[in-house]
Structure 1
Amino acid sequence: MRLGDGLRLAFGTLTTVPVPAPRVIDRPVAGIAMVLGPVAGVPLAAVAGLVVAGGGALGLPALAVAALALGLVALGSRGLHLDGLADTADGLGASYDRTKALDVMRRGDSGPTGVATLLFVLLVQVGALVGAIAAGHGIVAVVIGVLAGRCTLSMSCARGVPSARPSGLGATVAGSVPRLVAVAVGVVAAALAALAPGLPWWQGAAAVVAAYVVAAVLLARCVQRLGGITGDVLGAGVEVGVAAALLVLAV
């Protein structure tokens, strides 16, 4: 029952895929949903891979194909992670007062810091995917990149990571994933990526490691600066993780 509720919560929160509402939403179910984040990302990664394959078959410019593929991933997640990235950047760039920073993040509008960060991260993602397409492994790259970013959700929600607020998504999922489970998600993801066709064995695994390292740096900064995670911080971790993974795969 909890597994089914967790799966529904993962798809309902992280994608636009229509699913029934979970019957129960508590911390165990929230933890399962974060662990299953990559599973919810599979349809998005599959669509992106099909776009890259179709664009290549039609001879479309790599830049247009990369932008379309990642744009559909953003639409398929309702822009949730991109919004989180912009809000997190605004919060970290705001006053050193923690309460004011969290208030900036709660407003929902984007300031210059958020807009610039969003633009630069998207440029990195698209540019890196263009490089992977040119190298001949764009389909594999976009699938690994999309899923690797979502694998970091379990790390950001591991036991010991506090919530920055007493309520909201961050409070529901903070500390909800056992540490061993969070580690296992990363190890399994790296092992599967190492088996990806068309890549040297090390490159797929290195892409997953890069996603985790960059997301972990952001997570540590947010815990230090904001006192913990929010839903926006989770989304920001996903997006920077995707960018880092795609950069490695562009080689």
Structure 2
Amino acid sequence: MTDLRMMSLCDKLQCLDLQTNMSGPDNDSELAYGRALRDAIVTKDITMETEVLKSLGDLSLERAKLSKHSEFDKAAGLYAAALLRCTDPDMGQTLEHRIGYMEKLSRQLLQGYTPHFLWLSPDYWGAADSNILRVAEICDKLDHVTKKQEFQFVEDTYIQALVTAIANGDMMLEQEVLKSLGDLYHEEGKKTIDVSKLSEAAAMYNKALTSCAGSEGKQTLLHRVRYTEKVEGVMKQHLSRRVLKEQNQPKAKSKSEDATSTINIHDYHPVDFPDPRWELQLHKT
């Protein structure tokens, strides 16, 4: 799959269109758009995020034409999510036209049926306790499915769950999936000593923060952001020290010397983490 992160907006959209046109309105197309949505979140590219959600809505609308079922509801949710994020008047007008066309088509094909915009329903959230339990059960199932799986499988599973949550207007689940993706990137960053993964983790936590309503949830996410930034800073310092050390040493080194130069994020000197509550808070949350 082509990496979209370094492309211009136009190039990204053309590449996505090419990928999805070749495979048609199937699960691979949805995953391609889901990965593009993930990249847009990481780079804080709200324009790309809006475009991808619109394209996901178009994909669901094509499926709805073929199967004439609840894909209309999914398209409605994705168009609505794109409209909520939209900052460009022209794009906003395009989305409104899409929504109008989708509603008209739905009534024609499904005998007057109008797609549900769940995010507009005043009683959608239900009781707070039942929603917390519902989201916890969904996340528990996701954890069970992804247990002991490879990183790419786990990432794709959560990306697909994120798209579903957005399409359903399920903001509480969306926040939890974003947090789970952040945890995934955080652990991968520590495991592989990859600073970019820690940056991705912070981006996911910050995205979840933008729509987080409860003060307790915000505090949890803020702790994750701060701890991730702390680990990222320490990792950069150690990598810089290792580079300087290697530059000042002869190029030929024994295998034992190579082994001792390996960084282990868990073996940092306590001065790097002056407050042990960082680690404690991470495990609590």
Report if TM-score (shorter chain) is over 0.5: no
Larger-Rg structure: 2
Q: TM-score, normalised by structure 2?
A: 0.29
Q: TM-score, normalised by structure 1?
A: 0.31
